Amino acid sequence: MSTEEIGLWAGFVLTLMVFSYLLGDNFLYRIAVYLFVGLVAGYVAIVTVESILLPWLDAGFGDEADSASTMIALIPVLFVALLLLKTSPRFAPYGNFAIGLLMGVGAAVAVAGALAGTLLPLSRATAAEGSRDDLLNGAVILFGVICSLIYFQYMARRTAEGPGERGLVSRTLGTVGQGFIVVTLGALYGAAIITSLTIFSERVSFLLTQINGG
């Protein structure tokens, strides 16, 4: 049996082990998940070392590195040291600076990605001239986005009887937004199931073709 055939059978067996979760949580499913997680962790570690750590060490501390490059390369070392201080209850507050910087940079990247990759193209597509059906679809999309954003709005006016509550308009639009979110999640879940079944059937067909051909 060749290496390709071994990999083919191993992939097929692991796929069946993952699909055994349909019968309930069992040790076969857990073994497959542990294998996948371990492989992904090992792959990420190798990619991190080869694509980030080694180029960083070569650029900052290599033979051709100057003083400015070395100083810049020492900045990540400082942040790592601050993060390690979080393990000590006494020096943990000093690591908050690194945590805050990481969260701020991550939030900025997420917001920039959402604006440049989702909201701005959606706005341009909605505002673009087109047929009557295109304008209707754009209006529905815009209405769904607004209602979904209102659903995640938690500000309310304080009342004399007790805690504040949102107005009737906000609650109504929030309920509509919740409906849009439920439909979207349901469609995504259905698409994920269909995609998984398509991949599984394609793998089974390929395996049977290889067996019959062999």
Domains in the chain: boundaries: 1-65, 131-214
CA distances from 44 to 41, 84, 190 (A): 5, 21, 29
pLDDT at 95 over 90: no
Q: Where are the alpha helices (DSSP H) in the chain?
A: 3-19, 27-48, 54-61, 67-84, 96-114, 120-127, 132-151, 168-213
Beta bridge partners of 157: 165
The rounded Cα 16 to chain-centroid distance in angstroms is 26
214: Cα separation from own chain's centroid: 41
Beta bridge partners of 165: 157
Please state which of the ranges 7-16, 80-89, 175-184 shows the lowest mean pLDDT. Answer: 7-16
pLDDT band at 37 (very low <50, low <70, confident <90, very high): very high
Q: Does 7 or 42 have the greater pLDDT score? A: 42
Give residue 86's pLDDT band: very low, low, confident or very high (50, 70, 90). confident
Burial class (CB in 10 A: 0-12, 13-18, 19+), 64: exposed
- The C-alpha R_g of the chain, in whole angstroms, comes to 26
Cβ count near 12 (within 10 Å): 15
Q: Which two tokens stand for residue 51?
A: 């694509």
Distance, in Å, from the CA atom of 136 to the CA atom of 144, rounded to the nearest integer, reads 12
How crowded is residue 166: how many other Cβ atoms within 10 Å of its Cβ? 16
Per-residue pLDDT of 96-143, as tens digits, reads: 888 888 899 889 998 888 888 877 777 776 666 555 556 777 778 888
At 151 the three-state DSSP class reads: helix
Question: Does residue 173 have a pLDDT over 70?
Answer: yes
Please state, in angstroms and as integers, the Cα–Cα distance from residue 100 to each residue in 27, 74, 94, 103, following that order. Answer: 40, 19, 11, 5
